[in-house]
Structure 1
């Protein structure tokens, strides 16, 4: 059995995988296994063809060894929502205007396939749509914003899922009720009455300090940025690396410790370098301004100006190498 790992120059996931592959190889050797782990640098062998049974998506030594002891094909991926037989009408850039114009009451969910909140809402939204399948005036529909970006831009969608109510093709209001089957059904049974109800007071945004201080020593050296403070902190800095995150994002939580540690190491020795963080769910204007599409997104600034997105590794050494050209811990 051979595992091919694509090692792409500055690919952070590849760098994180390397030590796990080495450990798995040692474990297999110690267990006298006949399994072989091999790696291919796809940047040097882009046209290499080979036969393989299926992709294997494990990323830890323990799971890789477990897999190679008894390799089995993973279950087939779930078909895209638009390919499933449901009562939700899927809209695209060619069809959405004509379809929406025909319905007195249409609810549109703007979503992204990778979004956890969207995945949670989909079955509830689908079940609600089924309740109205015999009502020709009502439609539950959806737009995949990764495929129909122009629609999502037209209606200023800045987070997922965003649900909006339309009548005969005209946007009427955002849907602000709960994302439950019962709430969807209640809203579409009498949209006018629901829209005239007093709006519940939205919960205050999550405290960024609470997000960072949990499992991120050195967090006090990460600048918590918002719409009113972003320019005043990033503007005077020679270099700045800003992490746009969402509190619910698992990859963001995993990235916190190294990011905070580097901020702490540089605080006294490189005061012209700023590491900052933006909760993009609370400051959507900043996420929109810098075209943040997923989390975490790292953006690098020089002299207060956008320079590039950072796609390197997320470990301490990767960040230090990028910011100051050194992989050694900074002496404090």
Structure 2
């Protein structure tokens, strides 16, 4: 009887099992021989020129595979190419396209082999996929996520978006391999979302500051470690290093101070938004004066003050005056009713952010007509306490004097 050795089949079984789990890559591998027959032949292509020893290339590799997978479905297949070529080995191709560093990413249109454009955006999957979709019209099969509110910059857009933008810009210089950079992604995104309604206060980043394309810019900006965060004022003055905590609250406080904004970490407005101290004082004086003639005189003073104010929320000065007019016409009850109405509207989830800001500012201004009366009451209480204190001291003094007199007589 022949014996059958099952152990002899194990190596073959292992190889078969391994093959089951190794799937073919959707990234097209290019060489000098096949490059011209694949690229520029009717399909657009995003090509990575890499070197096997390049650390940045190794970190990009899994993302590049995911990108190819994202455009390999039934709809996308054979309509756009995601490819790579080892330009360190295929030196002829590297020289043809002027490759200076690795990885270099180039976009080739469907029928143009000679004039590719450089890709200088972020190297996250979402950034790359968005670029391919924008330039090819082909959607990826990536499930859509909320777009980032963080503005993406690079060496090509830096000057335009800072020096010549007329805006305040907070920029995080980051590197893909940096652990601290990854840790701050969530709070930084939250801050960008909170400030997205502020057109002149921008939250931005250069995600690959250490890349060949951005390296000179980073050096010129004094970046020696990652992340480096700097605030670029709208007036073009020297950038201000950010050295605070990398938390939502710390970032928000910093931006409010330097942008002159009044945001909360959730994106709402503080009670100070839209307010102007000179008009607050007049609103308090107006509300505390029962005489109609006096109120009309105060309103005229408010007009003079408002005409000379530069307030970021342009409608704010006008609303102080409007509120004074309504109180003169409809009485003080109008303040309570309008405040209640605005409070109810501000709590509505269907309200557009810009409209919610407008309502919050108006409600803040109405508060200047009410809260100051409580301040005055508090001052009155404080004054009364002072009087009582002085009176108490006087009583004790008289008591002590009487006691001494009695002792002397005894």
TM-score (ref. length: structure 2): 0.30
Specify which structure has the higher proportion of strand.
1
Specify which structure has the higher proportion of helix.
2
TM-score (ref. length: structure 1): 0.37
